[in-house]
Amino acid sequence: YQQNPKTYAIVKQLLAEGNAGELQKYFGSRMEFGTAGLRAAMGAGISHMNDLTIIQTTQGFCRYLEKNFSDLKKRGVVIGFDARAHLSSGGSSKRFARLAANTFISQGVPVYLFSDIIPTPFVPYTVTHLKLCAGIMVTASHNPKQDNGYKVYWENGAQIISPHDKGISQAIEENQEPWPQAWDDKLIDSSLLLHDPYAMVNKEYFKDIQKQCFYRNINKETNLKFVHTSVHGVGHKFVQLAFKAFDLSPPFAVPEQKDPDPDFPTVKYPNPEEGKGVLTLSFALAEKDGARIILANDPDADRLAVAEKQESGEWKVFSGNELGALLGWWIFTCWKNNSRDTRAIKDVYMLSSTVSSKILRAIALKEGFHFEETLTGFKWMGNRAKQLMDQGKAVLFAFEEAIGYMCCPAVLDKDGVSAAVITAEMASFLATRNLSLSQQLKAVYDEYGFHITKASYFICHDPKVIQQLFDNLRNFDGKNTYPKSCGRFKVSGIRDLTTGYDSSQPDQKAILPTSKSSQMITFTFANGGVATMRTSGTEPKIKYYSELCAPPGNSDVEQLKKELDELVNALEKHFFQPEKNKLQRKTE
């Protein structure tokens, strides 16, 4: 009995070959549903993204929502999708989105299903705008082309946090038998419960982001030229519309990358975080058209990378922390100078994640607004922002070093579309003062203190070795003692978010939530350095993030860089011990 002839054929072939190893891979274990939803390769079997696993996941999610919302059938859910597709298994984001819509509609739940591809931030925007119970985005963001994902938003417009992931996961386990007509997605086309929010959101979203447009006259006049790439993803049309909404001339689009293509033919990985490799075609177009600034979105347009041509002719690709510093400075300056917001500065907040640069803390201290750090990931910043907004606070900006920016309170998640156009307005404004983005970044550091960051990772496929490495740090000088120094660098504070210990708190208990299932220790050093070591939830990596925060006035950048390099070398040598632990270095 076959519903999807392609996945059926794959499994039949493996059975005919008697290939137990591959069958074990396909059917050995079900995909884990976590706070990030699902993320896996498309293909046959319960360990992959396919028609069946999407139906099962949505059935569980639907039952969980019914339990949590008595008015689910009145309010409904929104579903969006990107342009990913997988020929050999017949899976595609659009097909998965339609199957998910069919599941909800079969239970009498109204579904706002986008009729065409959209950027991920449009889903949380729609949840908030239409006061829906939940949102689903079918996307694997910047993952390799064979992957897909299923990302879930709660009624507050932010990604889910625990315990919802556990509750949904359990409900999926309890609802694995596909409901009658689960496969028949054509049923939705004639249903009165199906709505298409595409036209409405394309109008309202661009109206809402215009509240962040402060220099329309400069935008109209500027001669600054921009190149934009959507890296074969969904961003092209929406960034063009955003520029129009701000009265900026449209950016030059990289022709080979502007149309959605699930094969991502011109890049090895469709991830603008990888820096210059993904931007090769953008650099060429910028040189040809005389553009000084490149804006690059990842394929689902929730993240943004920016590059600027320097006086020397070299291109500088800004790190997530550097662009976070620029946008934080810009958004605060715009609020201070132009805002019609009558709230006092004591009600103004900015957020960033604990592994991101502390530059916002330095700006907040000097200017008098609040800065808060959250755990890693936008789900934490989105949820915290919503709490603060419900208390009447203004959350102006949040960012994470992985090139994610929330510049607009209408979207409680990272949004690469609004970030792109706000960056373009900032650059246009600075150009009228004869300043480049790089020069302004230096000015921000001169005023608030230099913040130099360096991050990398080691690959380790053996969970036992990772466990040992972190155990060693917790029992460094005898049992239950953390390191007092790292080479020549004295440790002045320790926060362990696996165990909940924080040496800087009066009761030695960490304020941020702790999680025993993942490793994360932050060391503060006497020289103003901070380093966090943590495991990745999605990859076999031990990551580290380091930063040296200098007080304003210390402008010997080369000396600061040298000091941070030495700190990182000591961290690798004494805390990671790559030779002893057989760790594989990140390859450039």
User: 368 is in which domain, residue-wise?
Assistant: 321-448
Residues 299 and 334 in one domain: no
Instruction: Report if residue 200 sits inside a domain.
Output: no
508: three-class secondary structure by DSSP? coil
Domain boundary among 265, 288, 317: 317
Query: For residue 409, how far is the Cα from the chain centroid?
Result: 16
Span 481-540, pLDDT tens digits:
999 999 999 999 999 999 999 999 999 999 999 988 899 999 999 999 999 999 987 778
What share of the chain in percent tops pLDDT 90? 92
Instruction: Report if residue 412 sits inside a domain.
Output: yes
Span 114-125, pLDDT tens digits:
999 999 999 999
Of 239, 36, 274, the C-alpha closest to 153 is: 36
Residues 404 and 454 in one domain: no
Residues 339 and 275 in one domain: no
DSSP for 477-496, please give it.
TSTT---SEETTEEEEEEEE
**pLDDT score recorded for residue 561:** 94
Strand locations in 56-193 (E): 77-81, 85-86, 91-92, 111-113, 134-138, 147-153
List for the chain the helix, strand, coil content (%; round to 5).
40, 20, 40
CA–CA separation, 362 and 149 (whole Å) = 37
DSSP for 433-456, please give it.
TT--HHHHHHHHHHHH--EEEEEE
Q: 287 vs 275, which has greater pLDDT?
A: 287
Provide the CATH number for the domain around residue 492.
3.30.310.50
Give residue 340's pLDDT band: very low, low, confident or very high (50, 70, 90).
Answer: confident
555 has a pLDDT exceeding 80: no
Q: Let me know the angle formed at the C-alpha of 328 by 326 and 329, rounded to the nearest 5 degrees.
A: 65
Of 118, 211, 125, 202, the C-alpha closest to 425 is: 211
Residues 182 and 240 in one domain: no
Q: 260 vs 1, which has greater pLDDT?
A: 260
Backbone Cα Rg of the chain = 24
**Annotated catalytic residue: which of 47, 141, 319, 352?**
141
Rounded to the nearest 10 degrees, the angle between the axes of helix 93-106 and helix 51-68 is 40
Residues 304 and 325 in one domain: no
**pLDDT score recorded for residue 556:** 86
Instruction: Report if residue 336 sits inside a domain.
Output: yes
Residue type at 75 in one-letter notation: R
CA–CA separation, 380 and 221 (whole Å) = 39
Span 403-431, pLDDT tens digits:
999 999 999 999 999 999 999 999 999 99
* 285 HSE (CA, 13 A, CB side): 22
H/E segment holding residue 316: strand 315-317
The answer to whether the peptide bond before residue 180 is cis (omega within 30 degrees of 0) is no
The two three-digit tokens of residue 559, written as one number: 């000396």
Residues 573 and 552 in one domain: yes
Domain boundary among 153, 172, 195: 195
Domain count, the chain: 4
The two three-digit tokens of residue 526, written as one number: 């006497």
| Terminal CA-CA length for the chain | 48
Q: Let me know the angle formed at the C-alpha of 38 by 37 and 41, rounded to the nearest 5 degrees.
A: 160
The answer to whether residue 141 is catalytic is yes
Cβ neighbours of 120 (radius 10 Å)? 32
Phi, psi (degrees; rounded to nearest 5) at 350: -130, 150
Residues 386 and 466 in one domain: no
- Residue 559: Cβ-neighbour burial (10 angstroms; 0-12, 13-18, 19+): exposed
Q: How far is CA 198 from CA 93, 112, 119, 132, 154, in A?
A: 16, 9, 11, 15, 20
Span 433-446, pLDDT tens digits:
999 999 999 999 99
Instruction: Report if residue 517 sits inside a domain.
Output: yes
* 252 HSE (CA, 13 A, CB side): 20
472 has a pLDDT exceeding 90: yes
CA–CA separation, 229 and 253 (whole Å) = 6
Residues 366 and 422 in one domain: yes
113: three-class secondary structure by DSSP? strand
Provide the CATH number for the domain around residue 140.
3.40.120.10
Q: How far is CA 199 from CA 94, 112, 195, 203, 211, in A?
A: 18, 12, 11, 6, 20
Instruction: Report if residue 96 sits inside a domain.
Output: yes
Residues 71 and 218 in one domain: no
- Residue 409 near residue 348, CB atoms below 8 Å: no
365 has a pLDDT exceeding 90: yes
CA–CA separation, 362 and 232 (whole Å) = 38
Instruction: Report if residue 156 sits inside a domain.
Output: yes
Average pLDDT for residues 315-319, to the nearest whole number? Answer: 96
Phi, psi (degrees; rounded to nearest 5) at 347: -100, 10
CA–CA separation, 72 and 64 (whole Å) = 11
Domain boundary among 317, 340, 357: 317
Give residue 1's pLDDT band: very low, low, confident or very high (50, 70, 90).
Answer: low
**pLDDT score recorded for residue 94:** 98
148 has a pLDDT exceeding 90: yes
Q: 171 vs 557, which has greater pLDDT?
A: 171
Strand locations in 57-143 (E): 77-81, 85-86, 91-92, 111-113, 134-138
Residues 25 and 69 in one domain: yes
Give residue 206's pLDDT band: very low, low, confident or very high (50, 70, 90).
Answer: very high
498: three-class secondary structure by DSSP? coil
Q: Which long-range contacts (CB under 8 A, 24 or more apart) does 162-170 make?
A: 162/35, 164/35, 164/64, 165/33, 165/34, 165/35, 167/64, 167/67, 168/33, 168/60, 168/61, 168/64, 169/32, 169/33, 169/34, 169/60, 170/60
**pLDDT score recorded for residue 200:** 98
341 has a pLDDT exceeding 80: no
Residues 129 and 81 in one domain: yes
Chain-wide mean pLDDT for the chain? Answer: 95
Of 318, 288, 324, the C-alpha closest to 305 is: 318
CB neighbours of 453 closer than 8 A, spacing ≥ 6? 319, 321, 357, 401, 545, 546, 547, 564
Residue type at 374 in one-letter notation: T
Residues 444 and 468 in one domain: no
Of 165, 160, 141, the C-alpha closest to 93 is: 141
CA–CA separation, 245 and 334 (whole Å) = 18
Average pLDDT for residues 80-98, to the nearest whole number? Answer: 97
Instruction: Report if residue 231 sits inside a domain.
Output: yes
H helices of 276-415, where? 276-289, 320-338, 359-367, 378-390
CA–CA separation, 411 and 118 (whole Å) = 14
Instruction: Report if residue 15 sits inside a domain.
Output: yes
Rounded to the nearest 10 degrees, the angle between the axes of helix 320-338 and helix 416-432 is 70
32 has a pLDDT exceeding 80: yes
